[in-house]
Structure 1
Amino acid sequence: MRRPHVRALALTAVAAVMPLASPAPAAADRVVIGGYPVEISQSPWTVALASRDRFGGTRAGQFCAGAVIGRSTVLTAAHCLGEEALGAPLGQIRDLKVIAGRGDLLGDEGKEIPVRAVRVNPAYDSHTNAGDAAVLTLTEPLPASSVIRTAGSGDAAYRPGTDAVVYGWGDTTGRGDFAHALRAARVRVLSDSVCAEAYPDSAEGKYLADSMLCAGELDGGRDACQGDSGGPLVAQGRLIGLVSWGNGCGRAEGPGVYTRVSGAITELGAGR
């Protein structure tokens, strides 16, 4: 069974997965983990990763998310493509697709586009979670309007206190209530010192500022969760992070940790 910090939706049944997840936060009656519903037209660069062969058709096979950074290029989390998350080696997944332009996984709008090639960050470290990024190349291009700009190193969008939004189809309460429609949550970028104190070096992982950033609320309540992995964290109209890992969901002492996009782009050579 997968390690508890991984925020991909595991192949095992939800009932088996949830003992590894945190209890619902105290604020869950007011602010669910996923925050609020959002139309896909408001974030056309948010896509679902799907495999019906591995995850069934109930939610179109969705198991992770990603962000469109080029017309045929999607950035996602490396751990989404590992055997631990997929339940089989990546090479055995014959129907890996990206679902674009579809906010409700139960609908039929948008496109399901096969993935032509996968490049996992060679610097990815599954122990510390550093470099948790991968690039998917699609078999056909998406409209230019689906592409989001990425924030480079030193961009003001990374500054602590910056308002940001995270998107995904994952667990909305911390109790295995997976969304079928796209949701978003407002969070704030937190300082590296706060993140390093929360994750010095433990079973969950180790915070490394060069390849990570964290975001949330100091008192908890808003966060990404299982099933949101690889999903975009956006600030000031630019992609700054990918949902990566954390200690539970929505905990005050365990902010969400995201792959720092500027580092991932450099390591993967994934410019548009």
Structure 2
Amino acid sequence: MRGPFARAVAGALGVIVAAAGQVVGASPVAADSVVVGGGPARITDAPWVVALSSRDRFGGTRAGQFCGGVVVAPTKVLTAAHCLGREVLGGEPWQVRDLAVIAGRAELRGEGGQEVRISDAWVNPDYDPTTNSGDLAVLTLANALPGSYVIGVARPGDAAQAPGTPADVYGWGDTSGNGSYASTLRTARVEVLPDAACERAYPQGGGVAYRGDTMLCAGDPRGGKDACQGDSGGPLVAGGRLVGLVSWGSGCGQPENPGVYTRVSAVLPERF
């Protein structure tokens, strides 16, 4: 959720932004945008980044892209739980016949790579759509991706999650905060921020609020670089490991409102 909404399908369905990304000038919503303040990314440098797609649901203009994901095993992809909500998909994941991931391709409608159907979806049972805590889901692919696409996942206590650590966020979301969606993968360099930065921005008091036990705070203290609508579920990578998934925030690239990510090391079960 970005702004403070989740950052997901805002561009495709307007209000659905609250499910997968961040919405400029709104309360926390799901990220549905493209990376703000970044630049193009080569898929060969980040083969673990994938796009979630359903042309039946979101049309073919952007190859059906509505959220991001990250490959953590040849048949397993992590994404944000809110990306699989009824508000986004219009039903349960298994009811979306063409639900797939686009892998190995930076340009959504370009050549190369592959589109792999999703055969199963596990949504964190502790996910709370009211607070957005535990915003994580695991997708099982019908066919295995190459092992070279897999990225390692940070575990509890990993130094890559320490405040001040440089980190990179990836996605096909809004690049400006004004609905300018990217068709080619983009990335922006941010840094892991102290929990206190997000606690100030998103205090407790009803509804969505920052929780350091299940969430990770990241952004550019000067502003201008951030995830945005359409980026929900995409990876935040530090030290060569996955540390977060784009979850929610307020606005895009605002210094006083850092991005909030799912703290993967705290939420992902050991069996995955």
Using the size of structure 2 for normalisation, the TM-score is 0.89
Moved more, 177-186 or 198-207: 198-207
Measure how far apart 1:126 and its partner are: 0.7
Measure how far apart 1:106 and its partner are: 1.7
For residues 17 and 127 of structure 1, the distance between their equivalents in structure 2, rounded to whole angstroms, comes to 15
Q: Once superposed, what is the RMSD of the aligned Cα atoms?
A: 2.2
Measure how far apart 1:105 and its partner are: 0.4
For residues 4 and 159 of structure 2, the distance between their equivalents in structure 1, rounded to whole angstroms, comes to 32
Does the Cα contact within 8 Å between 1:33 and 1:222 map onto a contact in 2?
yes
For residues 207 and 177 of structure 2, the distance between their equivalents in structure 1, rounded to whole angstroms, comes to 17
For residues 115 and 75 of structure 1, the distance between their equivalents in structure 2, rounded to whole angstroms, comes to 12
The equivalent of 2:149 in structure 1 is 146
Measure how far apart 1:117 and its partner are: 0.3
The equivalent of 1:162 in structure 2 is 165
For residues 67 and 16 of structure 1, the distance between their equivalents in structure 2, rounded to whole angstroms, comes to 21
The equivalent of 1:26 in structure 2 is none
Deviations along 1:84-106, one digit per CA (max 9) or x if unpaired, are 12233334211110110010002
The equivalent of 1:258 in structure 2 is 261
Does the Cα contact within 8 Å between 1:4 and 1:204 map onto a contact in 2?
no
Does the Cα contact within 8 Å between 1:52 and 1:95 map onto a contact in 2?
yes
The equivalent of 1:188 in structure 2 is 191
1:92 aligns with 2:107: no
Measure how far apart 1:108 and its partner are: 2.6
Q: Alignment partner for residue 112 of structure 2, among 87, 109, 114?
A: 109
Q: How many residues align?
A: 259
The equivalent of 1:55 in structure 2 is 58
Unaligned runs of 5+ in 2: 26-34
For residues 204 and 105 of structure 1, the distance between their equivalents in structure 2, rounded to whole angstroms, comes to 35
Using the size of structure 1 for normalisation, the TM-score is 0.89
Q: Which 4+ stretches in 1 moved above 4 angstroms?
A: 11-18
C-alpha distance 17-72 of structure 1, shift in aligned 2 (>3 A) = closer
Counterpart code for 1:207:
Y
C-alpha distance 57-257 of structure 1, shift in aligned 2 (>3 A) = same
C-alpha distance 238-197 of structure 1, shift in aligned 2 (>3 A) = same
C-alpha distance 99-205 of structure 1, shift in aligned 2 (>3 A) = same
For residues 144 and 188 of structure 2, the distance between their equivalents in structure 1, rounded to whole angstroms, comes to 28
1:5 aligns with 2:8: no
For residues 195 and 3 of structure 1, the distance between their equivalents in structure 2, rounded to whole angstroms, comes to 12
Counterpart code for 2:190:
V
The equivalent of 2:28 in structure 1 is none
For residues 258 and 95 of structure 1, the distance between their equivalents in structure 2, rounded to whole angstroms, comes to 27
C-alpha distance 166-158 of structure 1, shift in aligned 2 (>3 A) = same
Deviations along 1:43-93, one digit per CA (max 9) or x if unpaired, are 000000000000000111000000100010000000000011223333421
Counterpart code for 1:158:
Q
The equivalent of 2:69 in structure 1 is 66
Does the Cα contact within 8 Å between 1:11 and 1:55 map onto a contact in 2?
no
